[in-house]
Amino acid sequence: MTETLRLGYIPLIDAAPFFIAQSLGFAEAEGLVLDLRPAPSWSALRDMLAMGAVEAAQMLSPVPVAAALGLGASQARFEALQLLNANGDVIGVSRALAATMRAAGHPFDFADARTAGAALLAAAGARLRIGVPFPFSMHAELVHYWLENLGLPLPAELDIRTVPPPRMTEALAAGEIDAFAVGEPWGSQAVERGVGELLLPGTAIWAFAPEKVLAVRQGWADENEDLAGRLMRAVWHACGWLGAPENRFLVSDLLSGPDRLPIAAEVIDRALSGRMVISAEGEERESANMIVFSGGAATFPWRSQAAWIGAQLARRYGLDPVAAAQSAAEVYRPDLYRRHLRAAGADLPGASAKLEGALTAPTAVASERGQMILPADRFFDCRIFDPDAAGA
C-alpha cells in the first residue's frame, strides 16, 4: 500500500538524497510518496519534527546528540537512522584577513589545517569572530576542535557565533565576522560575491565527518518499523545513486531549480566534483571527498561518531564526558541500519563503533560479506578517539 511520509529539509546540497529518492523512483519502489517540506531554519526544522509536522527530517549530525544531552531550547528527543552524507563544509575568511595571511606567506593550499590555523591566528591578532550555522552543527564542532588543538594561544576575544547561512556573506561583508564555517553552496557564494576566500575544506580537520543525518522522533522508527525500513531503503538507494561518479552531471541539473535548490547547477557541481574556486581571482583547488554520499559504509551511523560529538559538547558545556559519550551513542541507530538495509544489499561493517581518526588511508576491514574498504578518517592533529575511553 502506498503511504505518504512528510520529510523536512533545508535547501542545501546535502538535502539531495530526499530529492533523488523522490524523483528517480526509489521512494516509489518502496511504496512511498515523499512530501518534501522546506524549513526556514534548523530550529524550525527541529520543531517541525518534534511536533509531528513531519515524520522525518534532514538534520545536523550533532542535533540528536545535543537533544540527548539536554542542550538547546527543545525538550524533544531524536534518533539518527543513518547518515545522509559525510563532509561538505568549508572554512573561509574575509578578504581583509586573507590579504594579511597572504602577505605573511600563507599559500592558501586549501589542505593543511595546521599551517592554515597558525596563519589565521597570527593574522587575526586579539580578536577572531567566526560564524557557524547553528550551535549544534558539525561546522561548530570542527572549528572548536581545530582551534583548540592547534597548541597555540587563542585570541583573547574568540567568538564562535551563530549566523544563519543566508546571512553569512552579508555578515562577512559588514565586518560582523572575520571568518565562517558553512556547508556548500554558501562558501562558494561568499567567493562569488567577492567578500571572502576559502581557507580549508572540513576534511582537512576531520577527513570523514558525519554531516547530516536522517532523523526521526525517538521511538518513531521502532513503532513504525515497516515504514522506517521503507524510508531508509529509499534514501539509501538515493545516496548510492548520488555517489556514483557517472551520475554527477545529472545530479546538478536534477537538483538545481526554484522548487528544489535555488542554486546554479555550476555551483552545485563544484562541491560534487571537489573542484573548488577559492578566491574572486578564480584560483582553483582540488579537494577529494568534499561531499560523500556513498561507498565504504558512508551512511552507516557509527556509534563512535555520535560519541565523539557527545564528548566534544560535554567538554564545551561542562557535562560529564563519559556519560555524554554514552547517551550520545544511543541516539545513533546502527542496529536499525543493519536490520533494514542488509536485505537491500548494503554491505555492513563487523562493528558498530570504531576508533575515530585511526585510518590515515582507505583501509580494508571485516564486513558481513568478507571485507569492505573504509575511507580515511584522520583528524588534523592525528589524535585517535576511543569511544570506550571517551573521558580520556
Partner 1 sequence: MTRPLSIVVVEKDRDRARMIVDGLREAGAHEVVVIGDEVGLARRIAERNPDIVLIDLASPSRDVLEELTLATAPMERPVAMFVDRTDGGLTRAAIEAGVSAYVVDGLRPERLTPILDAAIARFALLQKMRAELAATRRALEERKVIDRAKGLLMRARNIDEDAAYALLRKTAMAQGRKIADVAQALVTAAELLK
Contact residues for partner 1 (CB under 8 A)? 40-44, 47, 50-51, 53, 71-76, 133-136, 161-167, 171, 174, 176, 317-318
Helix and strand totals (H; E) in the chain: 16, 15
Select 41 or 367, whichever has its Cβ closest to partner 1. 41
Q: Taking the complex as a whole, how short is the minimal distance between the CB of residue 42 and partner 1, in angstroms?
A: 5
Select 42 or 206, whichever has its Cβ closest to partner 1. 42
Select 76 or 280, whichever has its Cβ closest to partner 1. 76
The upper half-sphere exposure of residue 194, i.e. CA atoms within 13 Å in the direction of its Cβ, equals 1
Which value, to the nearest 10 degrees, does the dihedral of the CA atoms of residues 262, 267, 273, 274 take? -110
Select 177 or 228, whichever has its Cβ closest to partner 1. 177
* Cell numbers standing for residue 280: 574572486
Distance between CA atoms of residues 177 and 128, nearest Å: 8
Distance between CA atoms of residues 63 and 309, nearest Å: 10
Q: Which residues are paired to 373 by β-bridges?
A: 364
Q: Is 41 helix (H, G, I), strand (E, B) or coil?
A: coil
The upper half-sphere exposure of residue 29, i.e. CA atoms within 13 Å in the direction of its Cβ, equals 14
Select 164 or 274, whichever has its Cβ closest to partner 1. 164
Select 72 or 274, whichever has its Cβ closest to partner 1. 72
Q: Taking the complex as a whole, how short is the minimal distance between the CB of residue 221 and partner 1, in angstroms?
A: 21
Distance between CA atoms of residues 263 and 100, nearest Å: 31
Reply yes or no: is the peptide bond before residue 185 cis, omega within 30 of 0. yes
Q: Taking the complex as a whole, how short is the minimal distance between the CB of residue 53 and partner 1, in angstroms?
A: 7
Handedness of CA 160, 165, 166, 170 (dihedral sign): positive
Select 61 or 304, whichever has its Cβ closest to partner 1. 61
Q: Taking the complex as a whole, how short is the minimal distance between the CB of residue 162 and partner 1, in angstroms?
A: 5
Q: Taking the complex as a whole, how short is the minimal distance between the CB of residue 313 and partner 1, in angstroms?
A: 10
Q: Taking the complex as a whole, how short is the minimal distance between the CB of residue 306 and partner 1, in angstroms?
A: 20
Residues 6+ apart with CB under 8 A from 6: 35, 37, 53, 54, 55, 56
* Cell numbers standing for residue 127: 580578536
Select 89 or 269, whichever has its Cβ closest to partner 1. 89
* Cell numbers standing for residue 344: 537491500
Contact present, 185 and 267 (Cβ < 8 Å):
yes
Distance between CA atoms of residues 386 and 389, nearest Å: 5
Q: Taking the complex as a whole, how short is the minimal distance between the CB of residue 148 and partner 1, in angstroms?
A: 15
Q: Taking the complex as a whole, how short is the minimal distance between the CB of residue 47 and partner 1, in angstroms?
A: 7
User: Which secondary structure element, helix H or strand E, spans residue 212, and what is its range?
Assistant: strand 210-217
